[in-house]
Chain A
């Protein structure tokens, strides 16, 4: 990780000064307009966080804005000018955050659904909230809304309201910057592109997504809580569809992928809308078309225009000193693994047929077998991604079949997938970070940006062998295929797992690269006393690596033993006739 450069601080300073001076320069009308837009911008930040970072699209953020606006309005009416408001208004924002966290937990609970289901449910919730606000007249004031809400005690003028909103916007941006710099932000970005891989590092991605949604609800809630005293009126339209839609448009047009994109979108489009809506009849149609074009062709949004400028600032950054990562939280040593009479069927296809095998010591084990023998499925079973219909899977005697993947992995399982699936859009440093945090962090650690400076002796040793791993700022997308395989292997090793599952680690590598990979696997096995299980087709490689070989055929264990024993085995010969090397 690098410190913020002088350029970044200077830009932030200019922005804050501009915020402070605006009412003096532009006059009271624009100060009033902008103070409302600042609140919307805070809510748009949350949409950007969910959509641009964590990869799911909330279509009903108005619900959280409106809910806290109503709560705050009711509190202001009931406790006019009282000191209690200092407590109650933050609580109103928190209520929205808590509701979003709850909804996120419920919707994301079962399957890591980030697509249409989540978006449609949030849209439906916003419409429902709008209806409730309309119908529940005794509390919400019905269609005409909650009227005559007093301002904040002592901050009743336009200018004061302006500065309250400006300070809130700056604080919200600072909080989101913090989150994006913390491991949590890196994990959000990682899971948006490859959720399965993040789960295989032992993180509960459903919870991470629920937290992202909770934060976005809190941001919308903050905007809403300040909306009530600023505007003096809260209507059902706030909860419903219109504001929810505007927030999504602002985030997209401004640029959802960056912190300030949604803010830029909200301020710019919001200001243009209030200036043009009445004079230009087709303004809103234009905005809808711009939105579609941006989604189709220019996903960075308007803020993308500033990307070259930003790159120049980044050059001024200096790297921060490395910190030694703590050891894994789980005990070390090899993990004892037992499969007993496991049966696995997907649809009509029987994949595993009473498979039994056990690995009770450290070392390098190879699994071989013809295509369709059930090798990769066995790995998927071990990491809990497939569920056996019958039989037992035990780690250290503990039955794991009913546990979710991230919990199984947290017992000390590392996995390298067959197709390299590093996080292509993240930097090499962040890729390595995700692996380092695996098994070494508690939930609260994920909020500490200093974790991005973690190093381990193993990482140093790997970087010595493969210098490209130290080129922290390169993105993984720039790597060649061979380098990606090495990075993927490094990620699997860095968590220092007790059971390491490698699925064809040499697929697509040149002979030299293959030799290097074999070397690393041997080296890792000597260093760590872990159990390493390798799926491999190449018999020359198996001969080189394996202390013990399992042969799978049609979902059963056909034979096991040393390489020499396997090669002499007539049953194995029979299935490999003509393909022996």
Chain B
């Protein structure tokens, strides 16, 4: 009995950790730059296909990580320069343009890999005993990675000079520019960091999900709802949002079906829009 409880707790922890990892890139870009990157899910998809490419070439799984960072980094640079930067003062058009980009990436994936589902082998097989429950080792590793990535990013953002400059840019771009901070370059770097995080998350979840061109849609929606519920611009918000959305989705899906879970997440997001439009952890 106890082992079942532990397994359920680990499942919930896993769901929250993975959701936080996927939402992180969107949170960075939306929270710091105010740009809702609707192609975020497709960048996760690109990351997952990097894992697929590594597997078909017989490379080790770990090789997919630098590959994904390279591909998504270049994509991020190009997209920031040519699509996002001209539109920084037109947030609505950024939404539309990144939506077009998501379409483009999906169609490219379709043209390159076809519509079929691909599966990626888990790089770390087997299970581990945790307090009497047996749990897949790869999932435990993912939980650990998620915690480490989030923690490292948080620490760096709070302590480093670059982090402070980015905070200055977010707070008041004009003043930051007047102080000699290269706002344009930091914004570009922030955007690229967001796309790389998306690619990274894509590689890591690839062994656990069917990889196909349409997989990004769900991820961008869930990530967005995490931010709606949690609030923008803080790690606490990201974690609370992931906990609420991931928790509700997995509990309701377990009780009824995935449609029910989806429906509840939507209702929750609309309720938050009415009652707490800036989320649980409002920035100001």
Interface residues of A (CB under 8 A from B): 55, 57, 59, 106-107, 109-111, 113-117, 119-121, 123-125, 127-128, 131-132, 135, 241, 245, 248-249, 252, 281-282, 284-285, 288-289, 291-292, 295-296, 347
Contacts and interface: CB of A to CB of B under 8 A. Distances in A.
Interface in B111-158: 111
20 contacts: A110-B274, A111-B273, A116-B36, A116-B91, A119-B95, A120-B221, A124-B221, A124-B265, A128-B259, A131-B258, A131-B259, A281-B111, A282-B111, A285-B111, A288-B100, A288-B103, A288-B107, A291-B100, A292-B97, A295-B100
A128 B262 contact: yes
B266 A116 contact: no
B217 A241 contact: yes
Contacts of B273: 107, 110-111, 113, 117, 121
Contact of A241 (B92, B214, B270, B274): B214
A282 B265 CA distance: 36
A59 B36 CA distance: 14
B224 interface: yes
A117 B228 CA distance: 9
Given A119-B99, A124-B262, A295-B100, 12 more contacts: A57-B96, A110-B277, A113-B273, A114-B92, A121-B269, A131-B262, A248-B99, A282-B111, A295-B93, A295-B97, A296-B87, A296-B93
Interface in B217-271: 217-218, 221, 224-225, 228, 257-259, 262-263, 265-266, 269-270
Nearest to B271: A106
A115 B91 contact: yes
B92 A291 contact: no
Given A116-B95, A296-B86, A125 B257 contact: no
B104 interface: yes
B83 interface: yes
A59 B99 contact: yes
The 4 closest A-B pairs by CB, nearest first: A288-B104, A292-B100, A116-B36, A288-B103
A289 B224 CA distance: 25
B284 interface: yes
* Interface size class, chain B: 35 or more
B70 interface: no
Nearest to B265: A124
Nearest to B82: A296
Chain A interface, DSSP helix/strand/loop, else mixed: helix
B101 interface: yes
Contacts of B274: 109-110
Majority secondary structure of chain B interface residues (helix, strand, loop or mixed): helix
Interface of B: 36, 83, 86-87, 91-93, 95-97, 99-101, 103-104, 107-108, 110-111, 214, 217-218, 221, 224-225, 228, 257-259, 262-263, 265-266, 269-270, 273-274, 277, 284
B111 A115 contact: no
A296 B97 contact: yes
Contact of B266 (A57, A128, A288): A128
A119 to B, nearest CB: 6
Contacts of A295: 93, 96-97, 100
A289 B104 contact: yes
A284 B107 contact: yes
A111 B259 contact: no
Contacts of B277: 110-111, 113
A67 to B, nearest CB: 15
Contacts of A249: 103
A127 B218 contact: yes
A140 B150 CA distance: 44
A245 B102 CA distance: 11
A291 B224 contact: no
Nearest to A293: B100
A13 B263 CA distance: 47
Contacts of B95: 57, 115-116, 119
Contact of A296 (B83, B99, B214): B83
Contacts of A347: 284
Contacts of B266: 121, 124-125, 128
Residue of A124, A248, A281 with most chain B CB atoms under a 10 A cut-off: A124
A245 B103 contact: yes
Nearest to B259: A131
Contacts of A285: 104, 107-108, 111
A115 B277 CA distance: 13
Contacts of A106: 270
Nearest to A123: B221
Contacts of A113: 273, 277
Contacts of A55: 92
Contacts of A284: 107, 110
B113 to A, nearest CB: 13
Nearest to B266: A124
A555 B36 CA distance: 38
A116 B221 contact: no
Contacts of A291: 100, 103
A282 B92 CA distance: 28
B259 A132 contact: yes
A115 B92 contact: yes
A135 B218 contact: no
A120 B224 contact: yes
B221 A127 contact: yes
